[in-house]
Structure 1
């Protein structure tokens, strides 16, 4: 959140946003940094609210190191995913794709700790993703952030979070079978 606020305060979107043309010209950092800049302060505020809610849900078992690792991996994953699989997206900003991945990882972590709410959260996020794919982006959110909601990026983020959680499931199953 701190980086996102700094980037917004100094109006660094032109330097950091995903810009397909500039990425193709070699500005590869944009694949990563685009996750941390926003269309406007409403967009930033919504994403910060998401971070806060995720931290409330999963903060007690997510160390700063683990969170930084997950965020970094998902930032690269989402940037590459948008580049490779969303050719119609020319400009992209925002944490929401990455946040979908973080919340999926947290939901899986919940399940490995025996919390039934993890299953509900995991399924709920995937239902949201499917509904977005069927119905398209939420127009009211798009109006609020003055940008098109990149629902395909949400899908990419959720897939990334699911893949990132595979080691949790493997460890859980190994420990369960050992007892």
Structure 2
């Protein structure tokens, strides 16, 4: 295995999302409800890769940088399974949503961030709980009716409306995945709980 597989994965992922910002990848990968209903099912799973433009990509890059800071240098099997679970659950939410079109990493990114911070070996429980509470509060507030937290300046800068509901899907997927992991650790099939 590579010694710094986390950094390689995140750098490759960042490059892939930047590449998907351009044609023809954008057109092939973005979520379009009409095209999904015509059988292009992959769009619900690939929309996270597509960014509206470079500014949008830069905004979402922060999450990948945070992941690089909090994750160990080598990802575990549990990390890979969690990332896959979060991606699939978030994609299912997108598929079942009322959105007619969608692009952006931020939806699924909130779930990936939740998992990465919760499992980080570098920080104590208090710091992790505080950071996760801030992330949860942000997602709750931005989906509320409070007008002062709608990030209009950010929408203007990236030239696209922010799909706040997708942040709930990603965060919810991260919470569900982490809770399932916690249950498996506490109540394994062989009856011996792990630490």
TM range (shorter): 0.7 to 0.9
CA contact (8 A) 2:72 2:120 kept: no
Structure 1: gaps of 5 or more residues = none
Runs of 4+ deviating beyond 3 Å? 64-72, 171-179
Note the C-alpha offset of 1:173. 3.9
- 1:100 aligned partner: 110
Q: What per-residue deviation string (whole Å, max 9, x for no partner) do you get for residues 132-172 of structure 1? A: 11136311111111111011000010000001112432255
- 2:65 aligned partner: 52
Q: Count matched residues.
A: 175
- 1:130 aligned partner: 140
Report the TM-score when normalising by structure 2: 0.78
Report the TM-score when normalising by structure 1: 0.84
SS at match of 1:8: coil
Aligned-CA RMSD value: 2.7
CA contact (8 A) 2:109 2:170 kept: yes
Structure 2: gaps of 5 or more residues = 1-13
SS at match of 1:147: coil
User: Equivalent of 2:34, from 9, 12, 21?
Assistant: 21
Structure 2 matches for 1:29-178, cutoff 5 A?
29-57=42-70, 59-60=71-72, 63=75, 66-84=78-96, 86-87=97-98, 89-110=99-120, 114-134=124-144, 135=146, 137-171=150-184, 173=186
CA distance change for structure 1 residues 171 and 71 in 2, over 3 Å: closer, same or farther? closer
- Separation (CA, whole Å) in 2 of partners of 1:43 and 1:54: 18
Note the C-alpha offset of 1:79. 2.2
Note the C-alpha offset of 1:34. 0.3
